[in-house]
Amino acid sequence: MIRLKDILKERNVTLSAFAEQVGISQSNLSNYVSGNISPTLETLEKIAKALNISVTELFKEKEALEFQIKYNGKVYTIDKGNLLEIIKQKEENGNR
């Protein structure tokens, strides 16, 4: 699973602690993360439920782009989605 390792790292949860929480052996969970074996849909649903996310979130790519911009004393976070929206608006307005 592409994102499981990242999600656990973001939440400061170890693979072994999560495996215990979900009721999956640590070796199986490790094999899922590394792609050595594929989990069943039932297992994916268990993992997603324990993380309080949808199954599809386990396979989404991590946002690789994020900026923080300070303007007039306020800090704004700009991510990939924001940039795409800005580009779209520029194109619609004739790149003004």
Q: What is the DSSP letter of 62?
A: P
Domain boundaries, the chain: 4-58, 63-96
CA distances to 19, 54, 55, 67 from 16, rounded to whole Å, are: 5, 21, 20, 33
Tell me the pLDDT of the chain averaged across its residues. Answer: 84
The CATH superfamily assigned to 4-58 is lambda repressor-like DNA-binding domains (1.10.260.40)
The per-residue pLDDT for range 22-63, each reduced to its tens digit, is 999 999 999 988 888 888 889 999 999 999 998 888 887 765
The whole model's pTM is what?
A: 0.61
